[in-house]
Amino acid sequence: MRVDGLRRVPAAVAMLAAAALLAGCGGGDEGSADGGSGAAAEGSSKETPAGQAGGGPLDAAGLESAAVTEADLPDYTFTVFKQGTVIGAKGKPADPAACQPIEDIRLRSPEPAPAAAAARSVHPNTDIQATEITLYSYDKAADAEELLTRVREAAKNCPAGYEDDTGLNPTVTALADPDPGPGDEALAYQRELSGTAHWYRVVRSGPHVAVFGWKSPVANKKAGEAPDEVITAQLKKLTETAGTG
């Protein structure tokens, strides 16, 4: 008969196998050394957070586990987008090229390219105004820093606007750097097109980057009001999962 997928063997055979195993073992000191290294390896593996490669940046599964869910924001409705290494796509280059990092954020195809990404859209159950969240993980914190540097410079250098992937001409306004909360640094900017303002906040925590985007009519008295509950919940979960908070 089978038990848990393995076939039982007669007791005599099992005893002979055990005796052969004991006979093949070395002296007590050698066995002690092997046991010690095995215990150390086990202890080391237990210290590595799930979803991290050697305790470093979050991989695709780890990044997904760091993204907010209904359990974190029970009064919100969620739409989870495609996850993995690449979730966006490059389109026609921005004109002028100095504005390309702004377009890359819009298309979820940032440079440098991330090692993993996850994205979702959330909105309160009582409102249809959504906040889009995109998380990126980089192999090195320096690459995440470079992304923020590129986007910050582009926001400053594109006040006259640019031609985007669709042939439209949005304008860009750099905003004061917001509080990064548990993160290391943050930036913000506004992308305006046809009377609608698209607001962005980009936050870095070690080798991870969180991008928040929402929109509102320019004339709305609450235009630009940040979805603080969503941002706070996501940054808290990301930094705690990654161990950078």
Tens-place pLDDT, residues 52-111:
654 579 999 999 999 999 999 999 999 998 665 556 677 789 999 999 999 999 999 999
The answer for residues whose C-beta is within 8 angstroms of residue 173's C-beta and 6 or more apart is 155, 159, 189, 190, 192
Mean per-residue pLDDT, 17-29: 40
What 3-state class would DSSP assign to 226? coil
Q: How far is CA 191 from CA 9, 106, 159, 206, in A?
A: 71, 10, 10, 26
Q: Are 119 and 211 in contact (CB under 8 A)?
A: no
The answer on pLDDT for 159 being more than 50 is: yes
Average pLDDT, integer, range 141-152? 98
**Average predicted confidence (pLDDT) for the chain:** 81
Q: Rounded to the nearest 5°, which phi and psi values hold at 69?
A: -130, -175
pLDDT score at 70: 96
| Alpha helices in 107-197, H assignment, sequence order | 141-157
pTM over the 0.85 mark = no
Which of 35-49, 126-140, 216-230 has the highest mean predicted lDDT (pLDDT)? Answer: 126-140
